[in-house]
Amino acid sequence: MAHRPSASALCSAYAAIGLVLVFVWSALSDHVFGLRSALPEFLVVNPRVFFLAGILALSAAFAVKPKLPRAADATLSVLLPFIGATGTACIALASNQNLFPPAMLCITGLLALGVGYCWFVVSYGLLLARTGSIARIVYCLAAALSMEPVVRLAIESTFEHTAISGIAVCLPFVSMALLQIVRTMVEQEEATSGVEKDAFAKEHDETADEAVPDRKTALESKAGKIFILLGATAALLATVRTLSPCGTWDAKFDPAPMTTSPALVLAYAAGVLLFAWYALVRAETRPALLRFQPAFLLIVLTLFASLVMLFSQGPQSAILYTFMILDDSFAHMLFWASIACTIASTAMPARRVAGLALAVYSALSIIWLFLLGDNDTLEAPVMAIAITAIYLLTMIVSHTNSSSADQEEAQTPHNEAQEESTALADRIAASIEERCVEIASEYKLSPRETEVLVLLAQGRTRVYIQDELVLAENTVKTHIAHIYKKLDVGNRQEMLDLVFGKNEGPAPAELTETR
């Protein structure tokens, strides 16, 4: 019998293909249509500023209003890709029509392109983050980033300019269809077998008892440091991308692409995958504030190597291009891995986390482009600023990590009564969990239903379960309904009677008192 890929593998494959199409769509839109010919000569900033302004607008909206009604979300899922495709059409037509001013049409198209691009990357990123695995989101990004140059080269070398314009307009709709498939598969995966928690979720579980004041304070302090780390990775991505060929559109600083050499393409793909495994996936089990330190330092070192090559080999070197794009891909993966870590480590809505991170990235990128002005090469003052900024970011991350490690090592109990109370609560919780596991085995509950049953038996609310297990409200309701049906009970009290009626252990009231 032929081996069939798992639903999880298929979901990851669809997500990677969808991201490839989004990256190719953006690259075709900004590198093929000759943006400067449509923009006025007096414009002294790079055209990418308007694209970033679109990202900044939507990411700010995500930060302010992260949760939307289901109907509104479904409408935006169709409307925003359409806006992005319309933006591509405006860019392509700007210099080839007389009905509208070319500059106005091109700027409008770039803004719409930024909005559509932001919607796609946030939607794919958060869907992958919902699965609870940093490896999944990192490997999907690595695959997409590795395939994008090859797919773009195939399109540009096969089709004429008019056909490329049509392909670029159609790509958002194809990616939208794949996004819907990925969303459906993720929801089915959550509703049936559930998703195993990764190290992020387990860390959050171990420190989620907000009834202990000191533990709550420590959790808030840790969340603040994680947000500092998220801001540092956003600033790093903005710096690295602005200094790479990806960051200056339609510019004279355009080294020979790595696709001129198959060896460089293979080296780039191997470098992306090795970085994903060594610097991000392998570090998944480390504490949240320490796991990204190797990745951060590798990105800084690669950027320094690129700057050295800029002066030693000249700005037209294909090897220089490969190093710069490689560093950009490293920073991209680190950025989304840190978003996933922040989502798992804090109670903030996922869209707000992504919105804040993208807002910092886009705002800093706009500032960088204004500093560069209309220059196509890196002048000495700009390079000095870049190196200083990266140095400061490195110091911030290193200080945050070392301070956190020192605090964790130096942290000792200061109240014996509190220690005993916490230990008793842990024993009671373990007893309840053991009893729930027995019932789950007896009544054939799924792994996710077992987790929900344990939390229900501990007296947790639906909202708490939703946040704790990173589930949608309707998904929690569905799991509770399935539990009641399998246990043949009508409400929570009957369920508690079943759990505690055959057990001599503590009742929920005793658990509440100890907590």
**Region 452-477 average pLDDT:** 83
Same fold, 9-407 and 422-514: no
Residue 442 predicted with pLDDT over 50: yes
pLDDT recorded at residue 103 = 85
pLDDT of residue 387: 58
Q: Which stretch of 262-271, 352-361, 452-461 has the lowest confidence by average pLDDT?
A: 452-461
Report the CATH number of the 9-407 domain: 1.20.1250.20
Query: How far is Cα 265 from Cα 154, in angstroms, rounded to an integer?
Result: 13
Residue 33 pLDDT > 70? no
Tell me what pLDDT residue 288 has: 64
Mean pLDDT lowest among 41-45, 65-69, 80-84, 245-249: 41-45
- Distant-in-sequence, close-in-space partners of 369: CB < 8 Å, separation ≥ 6: 45, 46, 48, 49, 52, 242, 247, 248
Instruction: Give the Cα separation of 266 and 269 in Å (integer).
Output: 5
For residues 139 and 12, the answer to whether their CB atoms sit within 8 Å is: yes
pLDDT higher than threshold 60 for residue 390: yes
- d(Cα 310, Cα 174) in Å, to the nearest integer? 38
Task: Give me the mean pLDDT over the 223-228 stretch.
Answer: 76
Q: What is the pLDDT of residues 137-196, one digit of tens each?
A: 899 999 999 999 999 989 988 998 889 889 999 999 999 999 999 888 887 776 664 444
Higher pLDDT, 510 or 281: 281
Q: Would you state the pLDDT for residue 102? A: 84
pLDDT digits (tens, 9 = 90+) for 282-317: 877 777 667 788 888 888 888 888 877 877 777 777
Give the 3-state secondary structure of residue 282: coil
Residues for the chain: how many in total? 515
What is the pLDDT at residue 389? 63
CATH number belonging to domain 422-514: 1.10.10.10
- Whether residue 254 is predicted with pLDDT greater than 80 in this model: the reply is no
119: number of CA atoms within 13 Å, CB side?
Answer: 25
**Residue with structure tokens 């900004």?**
30
| pLDDT at position 129 over 80 | yes
Domain ranges of the chain: 9-407, 422-514
pLDDT band at 391; cut points 50, 70, 90: low
At 366 the pLDDT is 92
The most confident of 31-35, 338-342, 507-511, by mean pLDDT: 338-342
352 and 63 in contact (C-beta within 8 Å)? yes
Residues 455, 116: Cα–Cα separation, whole Å: 39
**Higher confidence at residue 357 or residue 488?**
357
Q: How confident is the model at residue 396 (pLDDT cuts 50, 70, 90)?
A: low
Segment 337-347 shows an average pLDDT of: 85
Confidence of residue 383 (pLDDT cuts 50, 70, 90): low
Average pLDDT, the chain: 77
Question: How large a percentage of the chain has pLDDT more than 90?
Answer: 25
- Global confidence as pTM: 0.72
Q: For residue 182, what are its two tokens?
A: 């990925």
pLDDT of residue 191: 67
**Percentage of residues of the chain with pLDDT beyond 70:** 73
